[in-house]
Amino acid sequence: MAYTKFGEFVRVLRIKNHEVMGDMAKVLGASLPFLSAVENGKKNVPAEWIEKIVLHYNLTAIEKQELESAIEESRTQYKITPIHAGIQQRRAAMQFARSFDEMDDETATKILELLSKKGEHNN
Amino acid sequence: MDYKTKPTSRHDLRQYAKFFRHIFDVPETGAFPVLEALERLEDVFPNCNYVIVNDDKLPPQTMAQCSPNEDGGFTIVIKETVYRGAYENGIGAFLGFICHEICHVFLFHIGFKPIFAYSFDNNELPAYCSVEWQAKALCAEVMIPFEESHGMKPTEIVNRYHVSKAFSTNRRKLEKEGCYRRK
């Protein structure tokens, strides 16, 4: 069980600012177990935390970008909103989502490359 | 539950305590900043981290525990009440519970690993080769620096080092018994 990118980012922020997790939980208005679960990748980072962290730690624009990138890399859940999709499209989306867990990094990279090439052709 | 490890003495643990403070960049005197050290756990011991969990995630008698994790390090699991008590009120016993777990990680890293895969009951092993006693004794040496605390009354020890009354009275008891003779 390692820290996520977000967990590592905020841990370093705390150390730089002579704070501990208890201080950060207060800043974010979060319970300690919830913050801890987020840092360890058990829960997603709530969107409203970004501005709270930026303000409290006085982050620069570049640091804010790094924070957002760390949050994106730490996501454990993605929301699909298939409002305009039909039954078959929804089934396909769910099937596609289920296959992620068993996919190794190499396969995932190759699929991303193919999707990227497909995007280039379409453009 | 306890595990058998290679033997050591309180005198040696006292020396390790100085090194322990040093690796966390903490001076040899004054209170040990347990929660700050907890933040730095991964910097000092690769692949080691901590999590705070709702109280019902650990057995009633367990305040915190240290277990091997999937990354080859250790994860210290701490009850919310324990962390909160340490953070908000500086409760010595709670700071001690957390420091005790960090001591387990440290001792493992310097070679005090369990000799057997099976465990023993509490108090079944001689203190000198008990993983639990070693962590407890090291924790006391880390939190109450030997040189500086020599001759202090228990209340002074509690106030200066933010430790429990039990820790402070035990220190005085050992000092009276001669366990703390300067060598």
Q: Is B154 exposed, middle or buried (0-12, 13-18, 19+ CB in 10 A)?
A: middle
Q: Which of A34, A75, A27 is nearest to A53 (CA)?
A: A27
Average pLDDT of the residues in B17-22:
97
Give the tens place of pLDDT for each residue, B117-131: 788 888 888 888 899
Give the tens place of pLDDT for each residue, B71-90: 999 999 999 999 999 999 99
Mean pLDDT of chain A: 85
Nearest residue on chain B to A19, alpha-carbon basis = B36
CA B103/CA B44 separation, integer angstroms: 12
The runs of H, that is alpha helices, within B127-164 are 131-143, 146-149, 154-161
Average pLDDT of the residues in B102-127:
88
Q: Which of A30, B137, B117, A80 is nearest to A10 (CA)?
A: A30
Ordered DSSP codes for A66-110:
HHHHHHHHT--------TT--HHHHHHHHHHHHTTTT--HHHHHH
When scoring A24, A32, A42 by the number of chain B Cβ atoms within 10 A, the one with the most, hence best to mutate, is A32
**What confidence category does residue B103 fall into, taking pLDDT thresholds of 50, 70 and 90?**
very high
Nearest residue on chain B to A35, alpha-carbon basis = B52
**Is the pLDDT reported for residue B30 higher than 60?**
yes
**Cβ A33–B40 below 8 Å, yes or no?**
no
Looking at residue A81, its pLDDT comes to 67
Q: Which of B154, B145, B144, B148 is nearest to B176 (CA)?
A: B154
Looking at residue B110, its pLDDT comes to 93
**Is the pLDDT reported for residue B183 higher than 60?**
no
Nearest residue on chain A to B67, alpha-carbon basis = A1
**Is the pLDDT reported for residue A82 higher than 90?**
no
**Is the pLDDT reported for residue B160 higher than 80?**
yes
Cβ–Cβ contact A27 with B under 8 A = no
**Is the pLDDT reported for residue B135 higher than 80?**
yes
Give the tens place of pLDDT for each residue, B43-63: 999 999 999 999 999 999 999
Task: End-to-end CA distance of chain A: give it in Å, rounded.
Answer: 41
**What confidence category does residue B181 fall into, taking pLDDT thresholds of 50, 70 and 90?**
low
Residue carrying structure tokens 């910097």: B43
Cβ–Cβ < 8 Å for B41, B105: yes
Looking at residue B3, its pLDDT comes to 86
Q: What is the pTM of this model?
A: 0.84
**Cβ B35–A22 below 8 Å, yes or no?**
yes
Looking at residue B119, its pLDDT comes to 82
Cβ–Cβ < 8 Å for B127, B161: no
Q: Average the pLDDT over each of A42-46, A100-104, B121-125 and give the range with the smallest value.
A: A100-104
**What confidence category does residue A66 fall into, taking pLDDT thresholds of 50, 70 and 90?**
very high
- Chain A nearest CA to B28, separation (Å): 20
How far apart, in Å, are the Cα atoms of B101 and each of B29, B116, B158, B173, B179? 21, 20, 20, 24, 24
- For chain A, counts of helices (H) and of strands (E): 7, 0
